[in-house]
Structure 1
């Protein structure tokens, strides 16, 4: 009996010591520890909102993206932990963070950490991105997408970022404060022709940096392509005037060819299962929509 009591006493001391250790850590470091991220995964982005934390990681050896989502019922108590994974579409080695940056976090209502941005807080999270697509380049597809939180292309409407690539995910999407000024607030992805033997290159545009990779494997490629000038013209038709865009959880601008005509398709997801979309004929400016519907469940 005494041995059992002594064991319980030792375990209690260890537990109290562990809680004291967690309490001594800066909030971002504490949450990172609670996420239980393996040492072979490098941190590339952090998002924080209240008791909600997200850590995006990249494994250079396996080319895997992971997203750790943790919720705390209190600063020292973990309520839930969820892990998503996907093979990265580009190499994220250039944006791997130094873990020391976690110590620089200052408590705010919302916070975002990305290498080219540093820590951004509250309204600062809204950032401009101007993708530099060359007019002479020929593109298969271009997609701009944003969510209200970090996303690696898993679990939401439109999550297969480049839908014709057999459901490939693996693109880190950074959150924004809101979606007003949609053409500038998105994380842009483009797939275009290149001179390599593979024939296709994917680019992801982040603030201050563009990550690029050859696409490997056999994928279904659209018959029609468009040039950079078409893309720039498409952005002028982006339907930023829709009030619902400012409260959407997910917004996608998708430039592609439909019925042999270049079109800009805008898709946004509201609360619950409501999804809206609109099509704009880039050559004529004709607008089809918007149309909204409740996504079928099950």
Structure 2
């Protein structure tokens, strides 16, 4: 018989008038094989919307004040966990075949990383880490960036041990895809017009540090999991540590198509091939 575990996190400091929604979402924790940009395959895990494995985690989006009710089903053969980084009293473990339930709400715009906290960082590195975006009804895009040392994925899938001090990733993705495939992701590729207010929710759920650089535009930091002192800064380059994130506001001032990429050139490669890594374009018409 399946057991049900219940955890709750709720913030109630929001003072503005709003109409909150109750949102139900089920996540299936699946294991499978990820296809890399060059055809290479590696063991992978993800939180999906169905019991069918996909190498992209579900993007969770709510408005300020909404209540998100999550049911997380462990569709794997081993014990996993679920946590939302920074949320006290929420984490729980999920046995194979079991379901855990969680309630999440936020009173402010922000970005939260949900992930498997068990045996950290192994399970999160294997793919079990995604984004909860708390927005304010603006045009929004989402970048869940990851990196992988592909031979480690297969080793960890079979209970192997790795030394994280000797980590040299060879594949780099945004929302589970690399260049050029990522430009076909309408939730990732920013498309807009001059004067639009665009929000970009960006999280680094990999195990390497990155530095995301914008050509053609600057963005303002609206939210940072790293430090509140970052809020209000306007920049074109955003260093982002492991398991950290930003909410950026872009107001385009010129038309054109401009690249966004990691300043670390290795991260623009995939399996050693350039430019098949962490690289996409912004299109302003």
- Specify the TM-score bucket, using the shorter chain as the normaliser: under 0.3
TM-score, normalised to structure 1, is: 0.25
Structure number with the bigger relative contact order (C-alpha 8 A, sep ≥ 6) is 2
- Structure with greater Cα Rg: 1
How high is the TM-score relative to the length of structure 2?
0.26
- More helix by percentage: 1
